[in-house]
A and B are shown apart, each in its own frame.
Chain A
């Protein structure tokens, strides 16, 4: 395209004021900003010794856990809603006939591939019984890919580890939907 092409829209840049033309005031403005930051508080922390404060652990989206009910059983009812909602397809559930009278199914195996997970939290939103939750543990590491595939036991142990710091939003039985509220 030539410079005299009719389709070129020439835009005038705004004129510099006297301060801009003098350059030196802006020069001092720049160094004042730098020195303020040089002496100001630092945002980073010495990580293994210090940790960032997580403002609200209850809504942080870290490693998953599988919650237990009052009797220590896994709360999950193997309804597959989380696996359906998962955009990364990282949840794998094998359902089986429940040995307990209060539900029909329970997960025989419940596996999350933490390497595929994008920590979007949609599994937590989808769960009707508050069985799967994201904790505030964020430093997740392993020595192999297999190690990063969390099975049911591991997910339950994450619950055991975080139950005191991050209590379940409702340890009571899941709320019954009000009649007439949903069509």
Chain B
């Protein structure tokens, strides 16, 4: 009787999460198309409404039409693929993308004791039984409350996405898919490092790998990590874009200029699983960005910052978190049309030559701050968060100036010149 209410509670949360995620993903596709259209001065999908009627609803029926279309598409499996791995790849990437959400909080807590309510009902229905000694006050709005390895779990499961990409490319038995898989693998693995370094500063500061603890730390401090560690945020932000395969780092797919990548040979529902996984990666990245750097559910003067909440505060916290996530997703979608795609060598150089050192600088600064920060605050008598923010911004500007002076963001991939001809000689020699 002790485990049953927890199981039911978890099942309710998992069902809610998966249903919301799938529904959200299909509507994010519509939003993506709308934003793409608006930025290109078009109107976007606006015709499909309620099926079998003429009601249009601004095109809100488009996901239904897309879904039906995907279901009825021919699902063609080429004869030359490795069948087992070919089927395994989309399943891997989609299930990994969904599993990440097990530890991501989608709110704070609800002031509602599910276990007690459950026991109460059981007593009413079946008579008095042994009441469990389990004491949980609130319903935690995360599928696995109190998982101490939260961040490590996200990294471990998120890393499986690489397997999906590489497996999909390799099992297709097609050289373009294979190259796409390698390209995706190289990109995803390279950007895991700056991603990890960006997170490390936050984890150091919060002293915990639990996402809810990280949010609570920001709420208690009253200053979000984006203000305190802007350099860490920059590194994480760039790496998160690359990890979710969005422009300007979408070399995983690069649909305008390269053969589509590791899922060239996929069609129908299996292709849809890849696409849903891509959108889920974006949602995950947005959630992580909000939780780690934008204070999660915290908003000054609105949501409070304590452990105990009223119903109003609890709902407000969910809404604030979701609004922030939506804002980040909107930025993802606008960013897609704002900047040209990086070349592959630029992508790699940005990861290894710029983002990795910057991430290390951030970790060092945060570590030094944790060691000596309280003494510095006591010495100057200023509020701790203020000094931290000042230090953080100074470090950001200084390190970006170093990047500028080294011109580290400008990369040259011109062909090598001949051994004996330097530029000027070659120019002089061109006029016979």
* Residue ranges of A at the interface with B (Cβ–Cβ < 8 Å): 2-10, 12, 16, 18, 20-24, 27, 30-31, 33-35, 37-38, 40-44, 46
Contact = CB atoms under 8 A, between A and B. Distances in A.
B42 A6 contact: no
A35 B407 CA distance: 28
Contacts of A22: 400, 404
Given A22-B400, A31-B335, A34-B338, A8 B38 contact: no
B334 A21 contact: no
A38 B339 contact: no
A26 B338 CA distance: 10
Interface stretch (B17-25, B220-228, B280-288, B418-426): B418-426
Given A16-B407, A43-B42, A4 B421 contact: yes
Contacts of B53: none
23 contacts: A2-B418, A3-B417, A3-B418, A4-B419, A4-B420, A4-B421, A6-B429, A10-B421, A12-B423, A21-B404, A21-B409, A22-B400, A22-B404, A31-B335, A34-B39, A38-B35, A38-B38, A38-B39, A42-B41, A43-B41, A44-B41, A44-B43, A46-B46
B79 interface: no
Contacts of A35: 334
Interface string B392-428: 0000000010001101011000011111110100110
Contact of A9 (B35, B43, B405, B427): B427
B337 A44 contact: no
Interface string B161-178: 000000000000000000
A25 to B, nearest CB: 10
B236 to A, nearest CB: 16
A3 B415 contact: yes
A6 B35 CA distance: 51
A34 B334 contact: yes
A31 to B, nearest CB: 5
A4 B420 CA distance: 8
Given A21-B404, A30-B338, A38-B39, 6 more contacts: A6-B432, A7-B430, A10-B421, A24-B400, A27-B338, A27-B339
Contacts of A21: 404-405, 407, 409-410
Interface of B: 35, 38-43, 46, 334-335, 337-339, 400, 404-405, 407, 409-410, 415-421, 423, 426-427, 429-430, 432
A24 B46 CA distance: 35
Contacts of B429: 6
Contacts of B41: 37, 40-44
Contacts of A41: 41
Of the listed residues B41, B46, B420, the one surrounded by the most CB atoms of chain A closer than 10 A to its CB is B41
A42 B42 contact: yes
Contacts of A31: 334-335, 338-339
A37 B429 CA distance: 48
B231 to A, nearest CB: 13
Contact of A37 (B40, B405, B416, B419): B40
B251 to A, nearest CB: 18
A20 B410 contact: yes
Contacts, number: 75
Nearest to B401: A22
Q: Which 6 A-B pairs have the closest CB atoms?
A: A4-B418, A30-B338, A34-B338, A10-B426, A9-B430, A43-B41
Nearest to B415: A3
B199 to A, nearest CB: 22
Contact of B339 (A30, A43, A46): A30
Nearest to B330: A38
Contacts of B432: 6
Of the listed residues A6, A12, A16, A41, the one surrounded by the most CB atoms of chain B closer than 10 A to its CB is A6
Contacts of A16: 407, 410
B413 to A, nearest CB: 12
Contacts of A2: 418
B380 to A, nearest CB: 30
Nearest to B335: A31
Contact of B334 (A12, A38, A40, A43): A38
Contacts of B42: 42-44
B230 to A, nearest CB: 12
B409 A6 contact: no
A8 to B, nearest CB: 7
A32 B126 CA distance: 64
A45 to B, nearest CB: 8
B400 A9 contact: no
Given A9-B430, A10-B423, A35-B334, A3 B46 contact: no
Given A20-B410, A41-B41, A33 B427 contact: no
A47 to B, nearest CB: 10
Contacts of B407: 16, 21
Contacts of A42: 38, 41-43
Contacts of A20: 410
Nearest to A37: B39
Contacts of A43: 41-42
Nearest to A33: B338
Contacts of B339: 27, 30-31
